[in-house]
Amino acid sequence: MSLSLLSRGEMQFDQLLQYTLSGLSTGAIYALIGIGFSIIYNATGIINFAQGEFVMLGGLFTLTCLDLLKLPIWAAVPCAVVASTVAGLLFERLAIRPLKAPTPINLVIITIGGSILIRGLAMLAWGKDTHSIPSFSGDDPIAIGGATILPQHLWILAITVIIIIINKYYFYYTISGKAMRACAYNRRAAGLVGIDVRRMVLFSFLISSAMGAMAGIIVAPLTMTAYDVGVMLGLKGFCAAIIGGMSSGMATVVGGLLLGILESLGAGLISSGYKDAIAFIILLLILFIRPQGLFGKADSERV
Amino acid sequence: MNCRVISYLFVAVTIMFSTTALAAAPIKIGGLFAVTGPAAFLGEPERNTANMVVDEINKAGGVKGHKLELVVYDTAGDATKAVQLTTKLIKDDKVVAIIGPSTTGETMAVIPVAEKLQVPLISCSAGSKITDPVKKWIFKTAQNDSLAVGRIYEYLQKSKQTNVAILSVSDGFGASGREQLKAQAAKYGIKIVSDDTYGPKDTDMTVQLTKIRGSHVQAIICWGTNPGPAVIAKNARQLDIKTPIFMSHGVSSKKFIELAGEAAEGIKIPSGKVVVADQLSNSDHQKKSLMSFVKDYQKHYKTEGDHFGGHAWDAVMLIKNAVEKGADSPQSIRDNLEKTRGFAGIGGTFNYSPQDHAGLGKDAFVLVEVKNKDWVVVK
């Protein structure tokens, strides 16, 4: 009797460990996408609903580099990031900047329109099929306690950490990073002290589309990719950013990880039917109860 | 001079009109396929196939002197649009029969229209409620989900794997499969120990699989269409799950093997015979149809024809056969369709009757398994 209880307890623990690990790796992706949302929000005051599409572009450009240009994976990844970043810059130049009356509602609607356009073009270019991309380093599972993960999960976690560190360094130790923070505090004042606000907006699109693309590339081997993967991933990233109070620092990272873990625990312990509902219930609760984010003070520093 | 030109023109025009009048009027068929949108994986091969078959029939001189003319509209998987387009096909284009729509939801929505305007409709979707109860003007070519479920359960019963876990996608296809899996379980002595779902856009199913692993079942049945099942196959490999995995006919194409890679090995599915056409014995009635469809599709579209395209192939051929027997109006085509017996198509051997407008039996499905990156019939 006690033995069976013990083994049952162990099994429960293994399950919990697996849920948490699965949650962490999905959460890391949400975090990367979420940071992309916040960077643009802080520089421009808009929510860029096309953010998810850069995630999709990252994956699909990698596919093109691998299949069509026959590049090895280490070369295909940077190429795909560059290509998606160029798409991000074009989007800012052609859709955001020429706007005569850039009120937030106009801009938000433009980003939604832009996302539909990008998705449509991707559908024409890559077709409607789902595509798979090989893992960076094999598919042999790695056992951690009673749980297993894939080498690709380690890549995801490692690349996420590296990007976050670079991000932190950029915002705190470089001139243009500091200028971008200045824009986030007060665009008008930043303009008055000689910061080119429009250039900072362009920069913000550059950084966030590159990050989105990277997120899309590192998950593609696990989740596969298609022209329409950006929608759901974009929404989840948005949730992460909201939990983090639209901060482009650790708060959004924690928000993403929290979301990933809660989703997988919810699916595992309650019911898998409620997985997406959990994410959106959290989103609504945060917006109702703590619109400044889970960790934010009412008037917090957002960068 | 001017007068002469006019008279020439007059003669030319008269001749033009009279020649068209001499050739028999074309038979107009409507096609409603979800070429774009979430069900594009169904609609696209269906439209391609319908176009291909109609072209070929016309090249061979048509049916009894009539050319076939196919009018295709894209429903984008939207039931409202499907209803509008059905009305358009019947009232504006004056078609005598309709092929499609691609999904069960759309089909259910257009049934009242086709019934009221009295035009035969051959649906390419699988839901059993389309022809159960039988509706006068409605037929279908896609195999019922219940037949697919029956195939899996039969195998499980035979191999005494009676405790199963089901994992279905939370859309129409998954819901219908789940319903059938639950409804037929008792009949085959199967016990459903765990019942989980996943979202059509979900990217990680390790959680559901971990839960299933904890419940010690003898088989896992997953009901969904790409890419979800491929993700599940990969996740199961990651978790080192040794339990046999069964999937639905929704993944019955090479695409699944391509997506899931190594992880697809050993997975069994009930499938139309089209994926194993070349492995069938020559005595199989369907072999001739299957081989010609597979080869044609490969030639025209440079990719393999799947069983979704097969639904449209069957529908066009059924109409062709009806016309061949002398029908040219909606009423006579319907009547001849209902008299179809022993037509060996892609989905199976069709036997329509006043009591059965689905027309297929258990032999429509074979159980196949992934071996060395290809589908192989399970003996």
Residues in CB range of B368: below 8 A, 6 or more apart: B252, B268, B269, B270, B271, B275, B276, B375, B376, B377, B378
- B220 to chain A, any CB pair closer than 8 A? The answer is no
Instruction: Dump the DSSP string for A38-64.
Output: HHHHHHHS---TTHHHHHHHHHHHHHH
> Which residues of chain B are in CATH 3.40.50.2300 domains?
22-143+286-361, 146-271
Q: Find, in chain A, the residue whose alpha carbon is nearest to that of B259.
A: A132
Residues of chain B with C-beta less than 8 angstroms from the C-beta of A18:
206-207, 210, 239
For an interface test with B, which of A19, A26, A56, A130 has the most B Cβ atoms less than 10 Å from its Cβ? A130
Q: Answer whether residue A162 shows pLDDT above 50.
A: yes
What is the pTM (predicted TM-score) of this model? 0.82
Tens-place pLDDT, residues B275-326: 898 888 888 889 989 999 999 999 999 888 888 999 999 999 999 999 999 8
Q: Smallest Cβ distance to B261: which of A130, A132, A233?
A: A132
DSSP code, position B285: T
Q: Find, in chain B, the residue whose alpha carbon is nearest to that of A133.
A: B259
Which is higher by pLDDT, B332 or A249? Answer: B332
Residue A15 has a pLDDT of: 87
- A142 to chain B, any CB pair closer than 8 A? The answer is no
For an interface test with B, which of A128, A261, A280 has the most B Cβ atoms less than 10 Å from its Cβ? A128
**CA neighbor of A58 nearest in space, from A27, A36, A26:** A36
Q: How far apart are CA A231 and CA A53, in angstroms?
A: 7
Q: Closest approach of chain B CAs to the CA of A111, in angstroms?
A: 21
Chain-chain contact of B44 with A150 (C-beta, under 8 angstroms) = no
Residues of chain A with C-beta less than 8 angstroms from the C-beta of B170:
273
Q: How far apart are CA A216 and CA A229, in angstroms?
A: 9
Instruction: Work out the pLDDT band at B3, boundaries 50, 70, 90.
Output: low
Residue A61 has a pLDDT of: 96
Q: Find, in chain A, the residue whose alpha carbon is nearest to that of B241.
A: A148
Q: How far apart are CA B177 and CA B334, in angstroms?
A: 30
Chain-chain contact of A272 with B198 (C-beta, under 8 angstroms) = yes
HSE (CB half, 13 Å, CA atoms) of B365? 25
Mean pLDDT, residues A94-114 taken together: 87
Residue A207 has a pLDDT of: 93
32-71 in chain A: CB under 8 A from chain B: none
Residues of chain B with C-beta less than 8 angstroms from the C-beta of A148:
238-240
Q: How far apart are CA B171 and CA B165, in angstroms?
A: 18
Chain-chain contact of B204 with A222 (C-beta, under 8 angstroms) = yes
Q: Smallest Cβ distance to A18: which of B199, B206, B226?
A: B206
Which is higher by pLDDT, B203 or B343? Answer: B343
In the numeric block, which tokens belong to residue B74? 């894209």
In the numeric block, which tokens belong to residue A299? 């008037």
Residues of chain B with C-beta less than 8 angstroms from the C-beta of A149:
238
Chain-chain contact of A18 with B207 (C-beta, under 8 angstroms) = yes
Q: Going by CATH, does the domain composed of B146-271 fall within 3.40.50.2300?
A: yes
- A130 to chain B, any CB pair closer than 8 A? The answer is yes
Mean pLDDT, residues B190-198 taken together: 93
- Name the percent of chain B lying above pLDDT 70: 94
Residues of chain A with C-beta less than 8 angstroms from the C-beta of B206:
18, 22, 264
Torsional class of B290: left (φ above 0), alpha (ψ -120 to 50), beta (otherwise)? alpha
In the numeric block, which tokens belong to residue B196? 């989980």
Q: Smallest Cβ distance to A273: which of B197, B255, B263?
A: B197
Q: Chains A and B: how many Cβ contacts under 8 Å?
A: 97
Mean pLDDT, residues B325-351 taken together: 92
Q: Answer whether residue A92 shows pLDDT above 50.
A: yes
What are the CA-CA distances from residue B96 to residues B31, B131, B241, B330, B349 (Å)? 11, 20, 53, 5, 24
- B338 to chain A, any CB pair closer than 8 A? The answer is no
**CA neighbor of A128 nearest in space, from B80, B268, B308, B315:** B308
The identity of residue B88, as a single letter, is K
**CA neighbor of B298 nearest in space, from B274, B318, B317, B321:** B274
Residues of chain A with C-beta less than 8 angstroms from the C-beta of B214:
11, 15
19-38 in chain B: CB under 8 A from chain A: 36
Residues of chain A with C-beta less than 8 angstroms from the C-beta of B238:
139, 141, 148-150
Residue B216 has a pLDDT of: 86
Residues of chain B with C-beta less than 8 angstroms from the C-beta of A224:
227, 230-231, 259
Residue A302 has a pLDDT of: 52
Q: Find, in chain B, the residue whose alpha carbon is nearest to that of A143.
A: B239
Q: How far apart are CA A227 and CA A58, in angstroms?
A: 11
- B214 to chain A, any CB pair closer than 8 A? The answer is yes
- B237 to chain A, any CB pair closer than 8 A? The answer is yes
Tens-place pLDDT, residues B29-39: 999 999 988 78
- B373 to chain A, any CB pair closer than 8 A? The answer is no
From the CA atom positions of chain A, what is the Rg in Å? 20
Residues shown for chain B = 379
Burial class, A68, CB count within 10 angstroms (exposed 0-12 / middle 13-18 / buried 19+): exposed
Instruction: Dump the DSSP string for A217-271.
Output: HHHHHHH-B-TTTHHHHHHHHHHHHHHTTT-SSHHHHHHHHHHHHHHHHIIIII-
Chain-chain contact of B201 with A222 (C-beta, under 8 angstroms) = no
Residue A4 has a pLDDT of: 42
Chain-chain contact of A128 with B261 (C-beta, under 8 angstroms) = no
Q: Going by CATH, does the domain composed of B22-143+286-361 fall within 3.40.1410.10?
A: no
DSSP code, position B64: T
Determine contact, residues B166/B192, Cβ cutoff 8 Å.
yes
- A276 to chain B, any CB pair closer than 8 A? The answer is yes
Mean pLDDT, residues B61-68 taken together: 89
Please state the three-class secondary structure of B294-343 as a single string: HHHHHHHHCCCCCHHHHHHHHHHHHHHHHHHCCCCCHHHHHHHHHCCCCE
- Which is it for strands B191-198 and B245-247: parallel, antiparallel or unpaired? unpaired
Q: Smallest Cβ distance to A128: which of B44, B204, B206?
A: B44
Q: Answer whether residue B225 shows pLDDT above 90.
A: no
Torsional class of A245: left (φ above 0), alpha (ψ -120 to 50), beta (otherwise)? left
Residue A151 has a pLDDT of: 92
Instruction: Work out the pLDDT band at B108, boundaries 50, 70, 90.
Output: very high
Q: Answer whether residue A1 shows pLDDT above 80.
A: no
